[in-house]
Amino acid sequence: MTPAFTFFLGLILLVLFGWYFATDFGARKRLLAMVLVLLLVAFSIVTIWPPDKKIQLGLDIKGGTSFLIRLIPGERPITKANLEQAVEVIRKRVDYFGGGEPVISPVGTDRILVQIPGLDPAKIIEARAQLQRVAKLEFHLVHPQSSALISQFENGTGVLPPGYSIDTLTSERQDKKTESKILVKKKADLLGNHVTNAGASYGPEGWEVDLQFDSEGGAQFGKLTEQVYNEKSAMAILLDNKVISAPGVRNGPIYGGRAQISGGGMGENEARNLASALENPLQTPVSVEEQRSVSPTLGQDSIRSSIFAGLLGLAITLVLVLVYYKFAGLIANLALIVNIILLVGALTMFNFVLTLPGIAGVVLTIGLAVDASVLIYERLREELALGKSLKIAVQTAYEKAFSSILDANVTTLITAAILFWKASGPVKGFAISLTLGILASLFTALIVGRNLFSWFVDTGRVKKVSMLHLISSHNFNFLGKGFIACMCSLALLIAGATSFVIRGDRNFGVDFKGGDLLSLSAARTVEVAQVRNALKPLGLDNEPIQQSLQGERNFITLRLPLNTSEKVESAIRSSIPAGQFKVEREERVGALVGGELAKSSLWALGIGILGILIYVTFRFELSFAVGAIVALLHDVLITVGVFSLMGRELTLPLVGAILTIAGYSINDTIVVYDRIREGLASGMRGTIEKIMNTSINQTLSRTILTSTVTLIPILCLFFFGGAVLRDFSLAIIIGVAVGTYSSIFIASPIVLWWTRARGGSASSLRREVTQKSAVTTPTTAA
């Protein structure tokens, strides 16, 4: 599919979207909706198919290429600071290169393990060159009489001036290479360590690299260009001691600390890779010591189990929705299938690398998609109970559910957008899948589902809708149990925090604190599943195990907790005696989660929480925002605390699980808040406690149904997904259960208590919410 075709199709879709929202509801609007859906589904299928060549899978699912990099000692020995600097530089280069959640960790005292997924042979060569590029950038003056002095020197009629040497500049224009000699000052006039930012862009002379210097470097660069301009000479730019450009200064000295490297027929990839290297130069030269293809970190056995578990969970979800909501459930299932197609198509089109945290985002969006349908159908049930006709009830249900769906998804979208902006690695992967999933969920719920349902009703093909109603609305005093619930939560939080403090480093797995790297060569008949079974008695069968076949050699590599490699080796040898195992490498491996990654992720989460606070305050009121944040932190901290109490370790995949919990928590809480806001704004009689209790009881059916539907695929993953995914799925199970509890027993009492603590009253809360509802509540044009 050509870029031009994609552009014009996007333009057509944009016009159709505008036409759809500008059209009143009726036959024309439904026709536009059908055309939009068919075009998007067809485009997604073409983008996806064939899946084995289109969908990019991460290192944990498909495997990739492994590089073992050694730092080359110079006059001084390699220090810990050198190793840490090289790890962060390589991490940034691989992220810029499009590595898609790689494995990057220090090994021993002078090596770095880098594993990148999804590289074809050409990309492997490019990645190798990029990884070991030092990116030592220097600016040298070119002698004003360069050509004449070189000519005299080569003819034997002159000598080179002291402090200068002859270098070769290679240029490439229209696939033709030209070489020229220039007389360059030996000592650098400006070093590249003053470069603070570098980026690729397309300019008048083609692709170029834009540089930005710090204040000292900007001043030096200004003086340098002033000398070049006055002497009408040139300035040689050297990268790793090779001249890559020798531009002149045409329009006067360049001040302000900005410069460009352009010309020479530079291509897009070359410009982007050069910009990445210049922005992240290595202080210590490195060399690639070893390169090999590696199997997935999850293992083929775990991947097969997880695929089966995922399909089983999806099938059970579809059946459950169909049985409970009958005809309406059929519409919801069709919308869910369209949602999945659009989501996978978008992930493929944007070359997203699908990994375990990304899958967590997909699981959450499936739950959000079903939740939107549940919200609408529970509203439909209420409208029908009031005696309204089916046509009016459907229209009213979608209109009333719209604000809940919008607010719940926008708050989750705020978090996802900030995580994508500020974080990196697996956190960014989660954010991308969640963002695309939310957009797909909104489209399918408010356009696909509504128009399909309305068509059946308006044409008379469906005259009556029936649904099961297993959870009737009660008048349970939830707020009356708020204090007891908060005390139980506080006790659990204290117990979890105490356990976390006592266990210390034992709370964290190899991904966070490093451990042992054990590499064994074995007979070709040995499989990862056999090794995993051998580790079950040690309780280490969920650790990352990779296989690599090179000629007649079969390598099994394990990342293990610290000081466990000897007993692991012994267990494997005794369990698989025919394996003929030989230890190839046994050493300490550093953490996958470096300080920079952890810092950026925490900053992203903090800014995300601030974004939620601002949005919920704007849409509801400050006390609601405080309640939502408290409930979110409550759910995440209790999940982590329970994990500690159970003696489990936090690993990198659990980052995706915890983010999923945070997304589910805020979504669930906002839905309850929306019904409370509606009760307050509608003038419902009674005390504030009574209105809140009524609202929570009205949404109880939806809360339990959504939790159940979200848990089904996760439970299948827990029971059938294999040992590697068990902790991952267990964390989400705990988080969803706690999130359901907090949205009922924690979030709403916090609103009431916060209002009273700041001197407000029930009437003032009602007045503020009513005013905001009148100003900010949107209406759907769908």
Looking at residue 650, its pLDDT comes to: 81
**Digit-coded pLDDT (tens) for 447-503:** 888 888 988 988 888 888 888 887 766 778 888 888 899 999 999 999 999 999 998
Q: Give me 207's structure tokens.
A: 């692709």
Give the distance, in angstroms, between the CA of residue 538 and the centroid of all CA atoms in the same chain: 33
Angle 539-541-542 (CA atoms, 0-180°, nearest 5)?
A: 105
Q: What is the mean pLDDT of residues 222-230?
A: 87
Confidence of residue 514 (pLDDT cuts 50, 70, 90): confident
Looking at residue 641, its pLDDT comes to: 93
* Burial grade of 408 (CB within 10 A; 0-12, 13-18, 19 or more): buried
**Digit-coded pLDDT (tens) for 251-299:** 788 888 887 777 656 677 777 777 777 777 777 888 888 888 777 766 6
Looking at residue 331, its pLDDT comes to: 92
What phi, psi does 445 have (nearest 5°)? -75, -45
C-alpha 472/C-alpha 338 separation (Å) is 31
Q: Nearest CA to 676 among 586, 755, 590, 576? A: 755
Q: In what helix (H) or strand (E) does residue 521 lie, and over which residues does it extend?
A: strand 515-522
**Digit-coded pLDDT (tens) for 308-317:** 777 888 888 8
**Digit-coded pLDDT (tens) for 655-708:** 777 877 888 788 888 888 888 888 877 777 777 788 888 888 888 888 888 888
Contact call for residues 419 and 427 (beta carbons, < 8 A):
yes
3-state secondary structure of 155: helix
What phi, psi does 495 have (nearest 5°)? -65, -45
Lowest mean pLDDT among 20-29, 493-502, 761-770: 761-770
Using CA atoms, how far residue 442 sits from 342, 402, 434, 710, 742, in Å, is: 12, 10, 12, 17, 25
**DSSP per residue, 335-384:** HHHHHHHHHHHHHHHTT-EE-HHHHHHHHHHHHHHHHHHHHHHHHHHHHH
- Cis bond upstream, residue 73 (ω within 30): no
Looking at residue 4, its pLDDT comes to: 67
**Digit-coded pLDDT (tens) for 108-122:** 888 888 888 877 777
C-alpha 656/C-alpha 85 separation (Å) is 26
Looking at residue 484, its pLDDT comes to: 92
Contact call for residues 721 and 305 (beta carbons, < 8 A):
yes
C-alpha 385/C-alpha 264 separation (Å) is 74
Looking at residue 781, its pLDDT comes to: 44
Contact call for residues 437 and 368 (beta carbons, < 8 A):
yes
Query: Does the structure show a pLDDT above 80 at 355?
Result: no
Query: Does the structure show a pLDDT above 70 at 51?
Result: no
C-alpha 244/C-alpha 48 separation (Å) is 40
Higher pLDDT, 194 or 492: 492
Q: In what helix (H) or strand (E) does residue 422 lie, and over which residues does it extend?
A: helix 390-422
CB crowding 309-341: b at 16 or more within 10 Å, else e: bbebbbeebbebbbebbeebbbbbbebbebbbb
Lowest mean pLDDT among 130-134, 210-214, 285-289: 130-134
Q: What is the mean pLDDT of residues 49-70?
A: 74
Query: Does the structure show a pLDDT above 60 at 36?
Result: yes
* Burial grade of 399 (CB within 10 A; 0-12, 13-18, 19 or more): middle
Contact call for residues 271 and 200 (beta carbons, < 8 A):
yes
Q: Give me 62's structure tokens.
A: 């498909």
Please list, in sequence order, all residues whose beta carbon lies within 8 angstroms of the beta carbon of residue 422, skipping any fewer than 6 positions away: 600, 603, 604, 607
**Where are the alpha helices (H) located in 262-355, listed in sequence order?**
268-279, 300-325, 327-349
C-alpha 482/C-alpha 501 separation (Å) is 28
Contact call for residues 367 and 664 (beta carbons, < 8 A):
yes
Confidence of residue 97 (pLDDT cuts 50, 70, 90): low
Please list, in sequence order, all residues whose beta carbon lies within 8 angstroms of the beta carbon of residue 134, skipping any fewer than 6 positions away: 240, 281, 282, 285, 286
Contact call for residues 412 and 298 (beta carbons, < 8 A):
no
**Where are the alpha helices (H) located in 59-197, listed in sequence order?**
80-97, 121-131, 146-155
Strand partners, 105: 113
Query: Does the structure show a pLDDT above 70 at 155?
Result: yes
pTM of the model: 0.72
Contact call for residues 495 and 501 (beta carbons, < 8 A):
no
Looking at residue 639, its pLDDT comes to: 92
Give the sheet arrangement for strand 258-261, strand by strand.
195-203, 206-213, 258-261
Q: Nearest CA to 519 among 567, 584, 467, 603? A: 584
Q: Nearest CA to 237 among 191, 269, 280? A: 191
Mean pLDDT value across the chain: 81
The percentage of residues in the chain with a pLDDT greater than 70, rounded to a whole number, is 87
Please list, in sequence order, all residues whose beta carbon lies within 8 angstroms of the beta carbon of residue 173, skipping any fewer than 6 positions away: 264, 265
Q: What is the mean pLDDT of residues 305-328?
A: 85
Looking at residue 638, its pLDDT comes to: 94
Q: Nearest CA to 238 among 182, 287, 291? A: 182
Q: Give me 163's structure tokens.
A: 């402090």
For CA atoms 474, 475, 479, 482, the dihedral sign is negative
Looking at residue 323, its pLDDT comes to: 92
Contact call for residues 378 and 750 (beta carbons, < 8 A):
no
Q: What is the mean pLDDT of residues 397-426?
A: 78
Looking at residue 782, its pLDDT comes to: 47
Q: What is the mean pLDDT of residues 138-143?
A: 88
C-alpha 173/C-alpha 599 separation (Å) is 44
C-alpha 655/C-alpha 358 separation (Å) is 11
Query: Does the structure show a pLDDT above 90 at 102?
Result: no
Q: What is the mean pLDDT of residues 74-100?
A: 75
Looking at residue 322, its pLDDT comes to: 92
Contact call for residues 712 and 732 (beta carbons, < 8 A):
no
Q: What is the mean pLDDT of residues 151-164?
A: 86
Query: Does the structure show a pLDDT above 50 at 620?
Result: yes
Please list, in sequence order, all residues whose beta carbon lies within 8 angstroms of the beta carbon of residue 130, skipping any fewer than 6 positions away: 93, 97, 273, 276, 277
**Digit-coded pLDDT (tens) for 591-618:** 766 556 667 667 777 887 888 888 888 8
Contact call for residues 165 and 308 (beta carbons, < 8 A):
no
Strand partners, 164: 185
Lowest mean pLDDT among 249-258, 444-453, 640-649: 249-258
**Where are the alpha helices (H) located in 576-651, listed in sequence order?**
595-619, 622-645
Q: What is the mean pLDDT of residues 180-204?
A: 84
Higher pLDDT, 653 or 619: 619
C-alpha 74/C-alpha 282 separation (Å) is 13
Q: What is the largest CA-CA distance in the chain?
A: 107
Looking only at the bridges linking them, the beta strands covering 553-560 and 545-550 are antiparallel
Lowest mean pLDDT among 132-136, 182-186, 327-331: 132-136
Query: Does the structure show a pLDDT above 80 at 359?
Result: no
Amino acid, res. 696? I
In the Cβ-directed half-sphere of 681, how many Cα atoms lie within 13 Å? 19
**Digit-coded pLDDT (tens) for 535-551:** 888 888 877 788 887 76
Q: Nearest CA to 667 among 414, 313, 338, 419? A: 414
Looking at residue 773, its pLDDT comes to: 62
End-to-end CA distance of the chain: 31
Please list, in sequence order, all residues whose beta carbon lies within 8 angstroms of the beta carbon of residue 351, skipping any fewer than 6 positions away: 56, 98
3-state secondary structure of 112: strand
Higher pLDDT, 380 or 528: 380
Looking at residue 101, its pLDDT comes to: 66
C-alpha 217/C-alpha 656 separation (Å) is 41
